[in-house]
């Protein structure tokens, strides 16, 4: 490579880096529907047009897990997510992706029955599911991403 070509290549790389550094960065908004967080994470964070909802358990306002197993827990998880999205100015129809964490994958059909009812138009988000040990002995946890 001649000195001119190496200089030109370096100049192009520098210009590309400067353009990237000067490009506008999407706004970041931390969403705390219930006031300052008690734990070291935000219920949701909006970056540009995407809202990332933290993993959510089926806990009531007092922080206790709702009793009764997978069906009431799934309903409470989805209600909690619905509340977080409402604080961001969005509805459940804006969810584009979810990850389901289940204490026992045998409870998948019962979770799906409740989950399906929150998307009545049949436009379901993409989703993955894994079996996991969850906090407080929970049966289900959902983590979602919504789009404006």
CATH number at residue 89: 3.30.1330.40
Note the pLDDT tens digit of each residue in 54-73.
999 999 988 899 999 999 99
**What pLDDT is recorded for position 10?**
61
Cβ 109 vs Cβ 137: under 8 Å: no
Distance of alpha carbon 70 from alpha carbon 57, whole angstroms? 11
The pLDDT assigned to 20 comes to 61
SS3 content of the chain, % helix, strand, coil (to 5): 40, 25, 35
Residues 6+ apart with CB under 8 A from 123: 93
**Which residues form the domain of 47?**
26-147
Which pLDDT value is given to residue 144?
Answer: 98
pLDDT score recorded for residue 25: 82
Q: How far is CA 114 from CA 73, 83, 107, in A?
A: 10, 17, 11
Q: Which long-range contacts (CB under 8 A, 24 or more apart) does 131-134 make?
A: 131/101, 131/102, 131/103, 131/104, 131/105, 132/101, 132/102, 132/103, 133/103, 134/57, 134/101, 134/103
Q: Is residue 65 part of a domain?
A: yes
8 domain residue, yes or no:
no
Q: What is the number of domains present in the chain?
A: 1
pLDDT score recorded for residue 24 = 80
Which residues, including other chains, have CB under 8 Å from residue 32's CB and lie 6 or more apart? 42, 43, 87
pTM of the model: 0.82
> In which residue ranges of the chain is pLDDT below 70?
1-23
Residue 118 lies in a domain: yes
């Amino acid at each position: 490579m001649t000195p001119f070509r190496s200089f030109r290549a370096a100049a192009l790389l520098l210009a590309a880096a400067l353009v990237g550094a000067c490009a506008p960065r999407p706004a970041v908004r931390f969403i705390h529907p219930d006031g300052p967080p008690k734990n070291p994470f935000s219920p949701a964070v909006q970056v540009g047009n995407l809202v990332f909802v933290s993993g959510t358990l089926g806990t009531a306002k007092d922080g206790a897990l709702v009793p009764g197993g997978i069906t009431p827990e799934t309903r409470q998880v989805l209600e909690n997510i619905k509340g977080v999205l409402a604080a961001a100015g969005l509805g459940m129809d804006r969810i584009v992706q979810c990850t389901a964490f289940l204490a026992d994958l045998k409870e998948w059909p019962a979770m799906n029955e409740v989950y399906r009812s929150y998307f009545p138009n049949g436009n379901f988000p993409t989703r993955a599911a894994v079996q996991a040990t969850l906090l407080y002995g929970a049966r289900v946890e959902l983590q979602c991403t919504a789009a404006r």
